Amino acid sequence: MPRYMTEPAVKHDAPSHTAILLINLGTPQAPTTKAVRVYLREFLSDPRVVETSRPLWLMILNGLVLNYRPQRSAVKYQAIWTKEGSPLRVHTQRQTQALQKLLDDAGMKVRVAHAMRYGQPSIPEVLSRLKEEGCNRILLLPLYPQYSASTTATAFDTAFSWAQLCRSLPELRTVRSYPDHPGYIAALAASVREHWAKHGQPGDDYRLVMSYHGVPRSTLEVGDTTFCECHKTSRLLAEALDLREDQYTVCFQSRFGSSAWLEPYTTETLKALGAAHVKRVDVICPGFVSDCLETLEEIALEGRDDFLAAGGEEFHFIHCLNERDDWVRALAEIATQHMSGWPTSGPQSSEEMAECLRRARCMGAKR
């Protein structure tokens, strides 16, 4: 068995293309215990996600977590599942289509595809397809504005593992994070202002709660930058909205297991705000650009209950950016900045290939 993939026959005059690969987390195929177990097994076996010692963690995962969590999580997925499927998948597909249309309308010749880190369509599968289609410049653009080793780095690891098997490598570029991109911040601010226009301007007893997906606190101590990037986004969003420091709160949700995660926790924050008789909270989740289980269930349903049960009066959830025009424009800007120098105006013949053809050096090559 050859170690590296066999390449299609060389066509010296074949056009080469530029592609953007949007990468998201992935989601179960169905809101059933079985499908959620398959998804969680792949997700939670990733050493970038759970850094506990392997043998110990695999015992806990197989002996406990995969026996109990899939059923509980499936009930939560059922509460948010749509006719078209999982919200995370639906929004990622729509973002892909919207970005493709925007670039087409702008006259750019760039392919846009998406892949999921867990489940389908997988990163290796989509990279192989793009390569077969002649894309030899591929920009990896994770749909995570803030960097985290548990999301961004594992997506890149997967792409690079695929690349390690390629004989003829495409050019690969990565977008690490974009927590302060002006277009991203402006789209978030516009979504809040539109929400205020619809539900009334906030009064005195008001808090804009900015909730991000947490990670174990130990990862901050060893150099993960999630915490700082979340705070940077929050400060810029508050500035764009002219909010005073006492009008907004940053917190972290989705804690998994019993170790300490980034604090303050969203659940405790909402309960404390309710108990302190803050009349109204609006919750926005700037770290998620597609509505998903963590926003539609954990915040919009559970978070609401927590706040109201603790004594709060009015709770609103502000939807993720999803396929808002201003967000798709921001994505296009982020991608264009990172594709700088790459041909994006039409199918190109590689100069080296043309040169090779001119000199007839490879004319005898069978492949």
Ligand X SMILES: C=CC1=C(C)c2cc3[nH]c(cc4nc(cc5[nH]c(cc1n2)c(C)c5CCC(=O)O)C(CCC(=O)O)=C4C)c(C)c3C=C
Annotated binding site: which residue ranges?
A: 213, 294
Three-class HEC string of 166-178: CCCCCEEEECCCC
Token pair in block for residue 339:
């594709």
Residue carrying structure tokens 């609103």 = 316
98 contributes a contact to ligand X by CB under 6 A: no
Binding site residue list for Fe(2+): 213, 294
- Residue 151 contacts ligand X per CB under 6 A: yes
Task: Identify whether the C-beta of residue 135 lies closer than 8 Å to the C-beta of residue 111.
Answer: yes
Contacting residue, 229, 282, 294, 306, with ligand X by CB under 6 A = 294
Distance (Å, whole) CA 131 – CA 135: 5
Angle at 247 between CA 245 and CA 251, to 5 degrees: 80
- Binding segment toward Fe ion, per CB under 5 A, in 111-119, 175-183, 231-239, 289-297: 289-297
Q: Which stretch binds Fe ion (CB under 5 A): 28-36, 55-63, 253-261, 268-276?
A: 253-261
Please give the Cα distance from 169 to 163 (Å, whole number): 7
Residue 155 DSSP class: H
Cα(231)–Cα(234) distance, integer angstroms: 5
Site for ligand X contains 292 (CB under 6 A): yes
> 38 CB contacts (<8 Å, ≥6 apart)?
28, 29, 119
129's contact among Fe ion, ligand X, none, with CB below 5 to 8 A by partner kind, is: none
Q: How far apart are CA 139 and CA 285, in angstroms?
A: 26
For the CB of residue 86, give the shortest distance to ligand X in the complex, in Å: 6
Is 50 a binding residue for ligand X by CB under 6 A? The answer is: yes
Q: Given candidates 27, 96, 211, 266, which one binds ligand X under the rule CB under 6 A?
A: 27
Determine if 301 is a binding residue for Fe ion (CB under 5 A). Answer: no
Interface with ligand X (CB under 6 A), residue from 227, 248, 265, 288: 288
Q: Which amino acid is at 207?
A: R
* Contact status: 224 vs ligand X (CB under 6 A): no
Neighbours of 320 (CB within 10 A): 25
Among 66, 256, 304, 311, binds ligand X (CB under 6 A): 256
- Residue from 12, 41, 69, 109 in contact with ligand X (CB under 6 A): 69
Q: Which of 298, 299, 331, 339 binds Fe ion (CB under 5 A)?
A: 298
Q: What's the sign of the alpha-carbon dihedral 122, 125, 131, 133?
A: negative
**Gap between the Cα atoms of 327 and 4, Å rounded:** 39
Residue type, 285: C
Residue 211 found at the interface with ligand X (CB under 6 A): no
- 131 vs 298 by CB, closer to ligand X: 298
User: For ligand X, which residue of 103, 126, 127, 215 counts as binding (CB under 6 A)?
Assistant: 215
Q: Which stretch binds ligand X (CB under 6 A): 91-99, 105-113, 193-201, 284-292?
A: 284-292
Which is nearer to Fe ion, 40 or 98 (by Cβ)? Answer: 40
Told to check if 42 binds Fe ion by CB under 5 A, we report no
How many angstroms from the chain centroid is the CA of residue 213?
Answer: 11
Kindly state whether residue 143 participates in binding ligand X, applying the rule CB under 6 A: no
| SS3 call for 179 | coil
Bond from prior residue into 264 cis (ω within 30 degrees of 0): yes
Which residues of the shown chain bind ligand X in the complex (CB under 6 A)? Answer: 25, 27, 40, 44, 49-50, 69, 73, 86, 88, 144, 148, 150-151, 213, 215, 226, 254, 256, 287-288, 292-294
Give contact residues for Fe ion (rule: CB under 5 A). 254, 294, 298
